[in-house]
Structure 1
Amino acid sequence: MAEANPMLSLDALTFETADAALEQGCAAIRAGETVFDLGGVRAADSSGVALLLAWQRRARDAGQKLTFINVPGNIDALTQLYGLDGLLARS
């Protein structure tokens, strides 16, 4: 398993950062990353939840299992609100 990736240089997973974040995460997956450390993320909205699900789907399509660590509390709250908390792989 790859070392935990300090999820790139992302400090926000929001609507404004979604396009760049999606590509950055997909590039990390293509490079073989399997653990995304979200400890540096300070802002997130519902687009962040969509990004995590999209990255997870891309990893699965590539035959990999993606795990998230240090997920921000507001993403946890949103996934619970949307009934998606069981869909994100955690370490």
Structure 2
Amino acid sequence: MYTVTGELSHGNANAVVAAGLSALAEGQSEFDLSALTKIDSSAVAVMIAWQRQAIQQGLKLHFTGVPASLLSILALYGLNEQFQLHTPERH
């Protein structure tokens, strides 16, 4: 499992894409987003880039721990169904 931590925004989106693509090249297909502390709409573009690469590699990409803020952005763009999303359990 590849864990994305900290911020995922316009300022570091390219670096985050590259790190995720490296993880995909190593065969990772589950990306844990639960450690994200700040996101903006750039996160959607990052996820799309990872998804495209996963498809090219024949992998089925899964996102776990998807923060509510990211779910809201994905819903706004009508993209919830485009990804395998697993949200944190709420107690």
Same fold, TM-score > 0.5, yes or no: yes
Which residue in the other structure is 2:17 paired with? Answer: 22
Matched, 1:44 2:39: yes
Which residue in the other structure is 2:83 paired with? Answer: 88
> How many residue pairs are counted as aligned between the two chains?
86
The alignment-based identity, stated in percent, is 34
Q: Of 3, 7, 10, which aligns to 1:6?
A: 3
Equivalent position amino acid for 2:42 in 1 = S
Equivalent position amino acid for 2:60 in 1 = K
Structure 1 unmatched runs, 5+: none
Deviation at 1:5, TM superposition (A): 2.2
- Normalising by the residue count of structure 1, what TM-score does the alignment of the two structures yield? 0.88
Equivalent position amino acid for 2:62 in 1 = T
Coordinate RMSD, CA, aligned: 1.0
SS at match of 1:26: helix
- Normalising by the residue count of structure 2, what TM-score does the alignment of the two structures yield? 0.88
Equivalent position amino acid for 1:20 in 2 = A
Higher strand share: 2
